[in-house]
Amino acid sequence: MTAFAHRTLVEGRYEAEFQVPASFGPVGAVLVENEHHKETFIREIRLVTAGDPSSAVTFDCNSWVHSKFDNPEKRIFFTLKVSTTSTIRL
């Protein structure tokens, strides 16, 4: 699934919305592509399902992500939740 993040009214915060089918299963990782022309620091990614903050999956990134114009490879971040490889989909 692909979504484009947009800046929110909260300084330094971006938001994206996309649909994930229920049959997809638990999310264990996200791929990030930085479309800015400069590197961007990502502190964390929170994936909230059905608008319920209690269901949030957190990806603790604390990392710089290079511009896709400098390096086309996407960065991968894994969730803090421990899962078996059979339950993770990338």
Domain ranges (residues) in the chain: 26-81
CA–CA separation, 36 vs 62, rounded Å? 18
CA–CA separation, 47 vs 53, rounded Å? 9
Q: Does domain 26-81 have CATH number 2.60.60.20?
A: yes
Ranges of the chain whose pLDDT falls below 70? 1-4, 6-10, 80-90
Instruction: Report pLDDT for 87.
Output: 53
CA–CA separation, 37 vs 30, rounded Å? 21
The count of other CB atoms within 10 Å of the CB of residue 42 is 17
Instruction: Report pLDDT for 7.
Output: 66
Instruction: Report pLDDT for 20.
Output: 75
